[in-house]
Amino acid sequence: MEKRWYALYTKPKKEELVCTGLEQENITTFLPKIQEKQPRGNTPRVAPLFPCYIFVNISLSAEYGKIRWKPGVKRLIGYGDTPVPIDDDIVSFLQHHASRSGMIKPKPTNNLKVGNKVGNKVRIMSGALRGLVGIIEDPPLASGRVRILMELIGGQNRVELPCSMIEIL
């Protein structure tokens, strides 16, 4: 059977555990990560680009049983009980912009002030999602990040990004 990429939903903060467990089963995983500033202190922390999600490259019929009951796994993303594969181009794009460890470094941009306008359309100007359009879901956080609602991975998803990575349309 042909291997395809799928989005795997994990329990909160268990992305690394799931990746390690699946790699021990010889399943290819991809966990894109970013560095984000801490509200207090100067040391940035590494966080998943998509919290609670990893990408797995599997043959659904042959390897679904290996991933279904791994600690930290919730489910494969799909419609109802049917997992839906992700376009290979999306994962390739993310991998192209990531280091071997999965770290995605945004290109430096000018600091843009987003304002508190919930519902504004924005375009992502840098990073792996550059060029995609979304809508501001919540006012910017104290950490300098903003939550955006966008069409991604077969449905509407929340993405949290630094304000410096977006522009208002």
- The domain boundary, picked from 57, 79, 96, lies at 96
Indicate whether 152 pLDDT > 50. Answer: yes
Same domain? For 14 and 59 the reply is yes
Domain span at residue 142 reads: 121-168
In a domain, 65, yes or no: yes
**Residues paired with residue 86 on neighbouring β-strands, in sequence order:** 5
pTM over 0.75: no
Phi-psi region of 96 (alpha: psi -120 to 50; beta: other; left: phi over 0): alpha
Residues whose CB is less than 8 angstroms from the CB of residue 94 and which lie 6 or more positions away in sequence, other chains included? 30, 32, 49, 55, 104, 128
User: Do residues 163 and 82 both lie within one domain?
Assistant: no
- Residue 86 and residue 131 in one domain: no
Model confidence pLDDT, tens digit, residues 42-95: 677 888 989 999 999 999 988 988 898 899 999 999 998 899 999 999 899 889
Q: Which of 93, 100, 138 is nearest to 116 (CA)?
A: 138
If asked whether residues 89 and 131 sit together in one domain, one would say: no
Number of domains composing the chain: 2
What percent of the chain has a predicted confidence (pLDDT) above 90?
34
pLDDT in tens, 101-114: 888 876 544 444 54
Residue 109 placed within a domain: no
